[in-house]
Each structure stands twice: as structure tokens, then as C-alpha cells.
Amino acid sequence: MSDQAVKAKGKQAKKGAGEETVAEIPPELLLRRDRNVRYERGGTVYATDGRVGLLKQVVVDEAAGEVLELIVQVDGAEPRTVLLPPDLVDKTAGSAVFLTVNRVQFAERAATAALYEKKGFARADVKVLLKNGASAKDRNPRRAVILAGRDHLETPTASLLDRLDRRGPTSVDGTA
């Protein structure tokens, strides 16, 4: 790694000649993959090409024991807090959340996403959530809550083969 790259690590770097800044993804986080998908309050949210916001909270269905949406404060000149589907998440590393989309795709999704309004949500009962999360692993393992605390919760990581298998059998021409 060059001296300039070491100095720039953890700082915001200018993108092109424009005024927009892009926070770099720390290299140590790119190599790390948590065993489960861990959502931590205040965790940094990264698109495939840089930081896009902060995870503020996670919306759960207490009765089903599943994650429904992520409440993300979007970076930018006018910070907005929006609801996004957890299906956008590729992996987590520590408190960092990595998405499957790039910054442009994220901005498009965030622009049309519902805005978060605190009055529309209530605090979940963690004991009920965990009890129901155990049965949710069979229905939708990627969204099932298996661990939860005051500022975090975890869902199991589904392998790529498991995700493909859930789509059902298809032939090469797309028919079942």
C-alpha cells in the first residue's frame, strides 16, 4: 500500500473533480464476513463502491420473528431516514452492513423508499421475537431473528446454494 493510500485510509476522498465526497470502504472490512448477518444500531452502511448511510434501527415482525425492513439514514446534503428491504444486504462485518447494490442503485432505491416516521412503529418484545424467530428459520432463514439485544440483532447467513434452492427448480429455458 502506498503512503498516500495509508494516509487516506479512514478519511473521505474526493471523487473526480466534483464536490461530492465518497467514504472509502476500509480494506479490513472487505475481507471479513460475519458468520451471521448482524445488524447493529449506528452501523455504517456501504454500497459496493462506498458508504451510503447509517443503520438507525431494524423493523421486525414480532409475531413472525422476522426482519421486515432496515431504517437507514442516507448520507448526503439533505440526510433522510428511509425504510429499505433487508434483501439488499450481502453481508456484515462488525457493525458494518454491506449491500448488493452500488451507490447509484442505492440512491435510486432510497429516492423512492418510504420515509421513516417514528410514530408508525413501536418497541418489540425481544423474548417474543426470539421465540418466534426459531420457527421463522424454516420459512425465510435470511430474515429469521436468532439473536437480539438492545442495540443489535442477528439473522442466519444463507448460503448461495440455499438462496438458489428457495427459488424452486427451473430448467435452462426458465420453465419449471
Are 24 and 17 a contacting pair, CB within 8 Å? Answer: no
CA 57, CA 64: separation in Å to the nearest integer? 18
Contact 125, 62 (CB under 8 A): yes
Confidence of residue 30 (pLDDT cuts 50, 70, 90): low
What's the pLDDT at 102?
95
Sheet with 152-156, strands from edge to edge, namely: 36-40, 152-156, 147-148
For 88-123, how does the pLDDT look when each residue is reduced to its tens digit (9 = 90+)? 998 898 899 999 999 999 999 999 999 999 998 999
What's the pLDDT score for residue 137? Answer: 79
**Look-up of cell digits 425465510:** 140
Q: What is the pLDDT of residue 1?
A: 39
Dihedral sign of CA atoms 84, 85, 91, 94 in order: positive
The domains of the chain, with CATH numbers, are 26-166 (2.30.30.240)
At 28, is the pLDDT very low, low, confident or very high (cuts 50, 70, 90)? low
DSSP assignment letter at 64? T
Mean pLDDT of 131-141: 82
The answer to whether the Cα torsion of 111, 62, 44, 119 is positive or negative is positive
3-class DSSP state of 57: strand
Over the stretch 142-163, which tens digit does the pLDDT of each residue have?
888 999 998 999 998 765 555 4
Q: Which residue, among 29, 27, 34, 81, has the nearest Cα to 54 in the 3D structure? A: 81
pLDDT value of position 85? 95
With 60 as the cut, is the pLDDT of residue 83 above it?
A: yes
Average confidence score pLDDT of the chain: 79
* Cα 17 to Cα 110: distance, rounded to the nearest angstrom: 25
Residue 62: per-residue pLDDT: 92
Give 27 or 122, the one with higher predicted confidence: 122
Neighbours of 150 (CB within 10 A): 7
Q: Which residue has the higher pLDDT, 105 or 25?
A: 105
For the stretch 42-59, pLDDT in tens is 999 999 999 999 999 999
The answer, yes or no, to whether residue 31 has pLDDT greater than 80, is no
